[in-house]
Amino acid sequence: MKQSYSIVALPGDGIGVEVLNQALRVLRAAGELFQINFDIEEIECGGHYYAEHETEWPEGSFEKCKAADAILLGAVGHEVDGKTVFTKPAKPYPEPQLAGYAQVILNRRELNLYANVRPVKLYPGVKHKIHGELKQVWEPGKVDYVVIRENTEDAYTGETNDIDGGRMTPIKITRRATERVVRYAFNLARQRNKQMKVTCVDKSNIIGAHRFFREVFREIGTSEFPDIKLDYAYVDAFCQWQIRNPEWYDVVVAPNLAGDIISDNGATTAGGLGLAVGGNIGDEHAMFEPIHGSAPKHAGKDKANPLAAILSAQMMLDWLGTRHHDNRLTNAAKRVEAAVAEVLAEGKTLTYDLIGEEKASKCSEVGAAVEDRLRKLP
């Protein structure tokens, strides 16, 4: 058992800072309760940092991320006077990009975090905002699948070329990257032991590179995972089925861009982006983050929903527990999830997105409520 776990915390920009604070508070409480020592280093970074320093984070930060047992990210993206700050073209992403993206894209690519694991799970009591009103639309228990998004290639290579007076961005799908991500998805279906099914979601009817993704999926599935059912969907049609019939899905695997879109769309059925979580997972490293952005217009108001960030810390605990065969972490993860579920089911101490502006609690109050439940749970 390890004496101590080193965590790099990257608050980033906007609401990322506030929600990560609440995640760290819950993480510290979990550490205390389960006698786990976390050595947490916070590194200031993101678009606001770039605006001041012309670099997105202090020198040596990437090496610190690489050396850490796990990374916890808030959100990145910064505005000045309502205008988004873009970085100059920089390695490894030669296109001008939203300042702060380096941490996300660089860590995902350079640390080989090839599987972006995004659970779509509806907790009891959670309401959805539909037609401006909060209602219970989907049924808990019928929304419980995991999107595995390939995290290193597809349209995210950063390459763009001039062509015919316009620009062209390639879609790259390699055998190596596809094999490892589809294996991750099949193994997860086995581990979940629910429907024993993996759905491949792509645009293989028109994009040749996606056809290759699907072929590799079929090949690995039939040869290595005969106990798992293979299922297929085109991403456009999938977008409506995941809303109408989410209970069909167990594990879903998709190329990068399709996975990006369907994970946000799936969040609609699970209470919105305020609750949606992503783990960027590789064989050696991992980074956990809420999948929402930095929401500059809500920043600094202690208003944003911290539950996605808290559930990211929960996912990190679970991953660390499995990786290091440390039951303290696995139990802490279970307890944090139970504490969040209690706060949701109780339906009192919630942010505006889940309860409406009039009854809304603050970001820090929701963090405190989760910590309180965590300490009281048996």
Catalytic residues: 156, 203, 236, 260, 264
Q: Which does 104 bind (CB under 5 to 8 A by kind): Mn ion, ligand IPM, none?
A: ligand IPM
Q: Quick one: 101 or 225, whose CB is closer to Mn ion? A: 101
Strand, helix or coil for residue 25: helix
Cβ-based neighbour number of residue 96 at 10 Å: 11
- Residue located via tokens 């993996």: 198
Closer CB to ligand IPM, 252 or 329, in the complex: 252
At its nearest, how many Å lie between Mn ion and the CB of residue 3?
Answer: 36
Q: Where do we find the tokens 């991953």?
A: 319
Instruction: State the sign of the Cα–Cα–Cα–Cα dihedral 18, 22, 28, 31.
Output: negative
* Residue 13 in the binding site for ligand IPM (CB under 6 A): no
Helix (H, G, I), strand (E, B) or coil at 278: strand
At 72, which helix (H) or strand (E)?
Answer: strand 70-75
- 114 contributes a contact to ligand IPM by CB under 6 A: no
- Residue 101 within binding range of ligand IPM, rule CB under 6 A: yes
Distance between first and last Cα of the chain: 24
Could you tell me which of 15, 20, 92 has the C-alpha nearest to residue 353? 15
Q: Is the dihedral of CA 114, 120, 124, 128 positive or negative?
A: positive
Q: Taking CB within 5 to 8 Å according to partner kind, which of Mn ion, ligand IPM, none is near residue 101?
A: ligand IPM
What binding mask, one character per residue, do residues 246-265 give for Mn ion by CB under 5 A, x or -? --------------x-----
Is 93 a binding residue for ligand IPM by CB under 6 A? The answer is: no
Is 154 near ligand IPM (CB under 6 A)?
no
Residue linked to tokens 């990068």: 256
Selected from 117, 198, 291, 329, the binder of ligand IPM by CB under 6 A is: 291
Q: Interface residues for ligand IPM in 268-287 (CB under 6 A)? A: none
To ligand IPM, the closest distance from the beta carbon of 258 in angstroms equals 11
Nearer to ligand IPM, 101 or 249 (CB): 101
Beta carbons of 228 and 197 less than 8 angstroms apart? yes
Q: Does residue number 260 form part of the binding site for ligand IPM (CB under 6 A)?
A: yes
| Integer CA distances (angstroms), 316 to 6, 22, 253, 288, 332, in order | 12, 15, 21, 6, 10
Residue 220 interacts with ligand IPM (CB under 6 A): yes or no: no
Is the separation of the CB atoms in 227 and 194 below 8 Å? Answer: no
Least separation, in Å, of the C-beta of 291 and ligand IPM? 5
> Minimal CB distance to ligand IPM: which residue?
260
CA pair distance 188, 240, nearest whole angstrom: 24
The size of the interface with Mn ion (CB under 5 A), counted in residues, is 1
User: CB-wise, 101 or 225, nearer to ligand IPM?
Assistant: 101
Which chain residues interact with ligand IPM by CB under 6 A? 101, 104, 260, 291
